[in-house]
Amino acid sequence: MSNSVKTPCVGICSTVFGDEVCRGCKRFQHEIIQWNGYDDVAKRSVLNRLELLKVQIMESKIRITDEGLLMTKLLEFKIKFEEDNNSLCWVFDLLRSGSQSIVSPTDFGFELIDNSVSNLSELKKVMEEELFKLSEAHYQRYFKTEKYFNV
């Protein structure tokens, strides 16, 4: 057991209400239950999956214009983020923490490229819902396959 890989928990766990995918951190129910028993490799695998999904979502919605400025703002406002992650994930974490407080994305080193969303609060809702849906689809495809084979 190791504590060097931090939990992605955001303190809003819906698996206690029966969800197979947490609406807060988007981990699977069994990952939340077994997290403290996972070694760093297993924990990192979960975090890598979540990072890839976040990048997939964000790359069509925003463009990083100044990564240095973005990092400076994250540190200045004490936003929890993983420095080793793709900077698109940094914006995901920023919006999750303070989408209502940001007047101009360019002040934070990014810009909106998705014309279907009109503001950052709306983008936050869209990205959270997409991450949940992608996580659910991943869970259904790779962890619930036995239900498709039981006749």
Burial of residue 101 (number of CB atoms within 10 Å: 0-12, 13-18, 19+): exposed
Going by C-alpha positions, the residue among 70, 101, 80, 57 that lies closest to residue 10 is: 80
When computed from its CA atoms, the radius of gyration of the chain, rounded to whole angstroms, is 16
Cα torsion 113, 107, 91, 14: sign: negative
pLDDT digits (tens, 9 = 90+) for 58-117: 999 999 999 999 999 999 999 989 999 999 999 999 999 888 889 899 999 999 999 899
**How confident is the model at residue 50, as a pLDDT?**
96
**How confident is the model at residue 146, as a pLDDT?**
59
pLDDT digits (tens, 9 = 90+) for 117-139: 989 999 999 999 999 999 999 99
Residues paired with residue 21 on neighbouring β-strands, in sequence order: 28
Going by C-alpha positions, the residue among 142, 132, 124 that lies closest to residue 27 is: 132
For residue 2, pLDDT beyond 90: no
